[in-house]
Amino acid sequence: MIIETLKKLFSRDLAKLKKEIELYQNEKAIWNIEKEIANSAGNLCLHLIGNLNTYIGAEIGKTNYIRNRPLEFSTKNIPRDELIGMIENTIFVVEESLGKLTVEELENEYPLLVFEKKTSIEYLLVHLATHLTYHLGQINYHRRLLD
């Protein structure tokens, strides 16, 4: 049950991320930063893509994805269509990877040390879902303030 719930939540919120990027009237505004706003929507989008492809895709789905976290925040001006394609691919990767999990495996220790101490796979997945929604809210405000 929790796996299906997580799949639905990740799919829902990644679809919202795609919609937020599509809603920018000025494509260049996706990459704007101003005053106290340290990260552009584009960089937050890249960060979410890297995060989910690493912790769900590479570790659970065995996709061989290799993350370059610094590039998530330093890369600029990727075309909107390319960002959208990356989001759509991430939706697929998350869906496929979570589909490989069993309820019993959720209790297993997540193979990477992400926090100060090891956690269960279930704990990390719930964290990743809330991390996604946190940055999704930031992107929504970014669009409404700077577009």
Tokens 């939540």 belong to 9
Residue range 108-116: mean pLDDT, rounded: 95
- C-alpha span between 110 and 139 (Å, rounded): 29
2-146: CATH class: mainly alpha
- C-alpha span between 113 and 18 (Å, rounded): 29
Q: Is the pLDDT score of 29 beyond 90?
A: yes
Question: In the prediction, which pLDDT does 36 show?
Answer: 86
Question: In the prediction, which pLDDT does 15 show?
Answer: 98
Question: In the prediction, which pLDDT does 1 show?
Answer: 87
Q: Give the tens place of pLDDT for each residue, 71-99.
A: 999 999 999 999 999 999 999 999 999 99
Cross-strand bridge partners of residue 37: 34
Structure tokens at 54: 């690493």
Cross-strand bridge partners of residue 109: 120
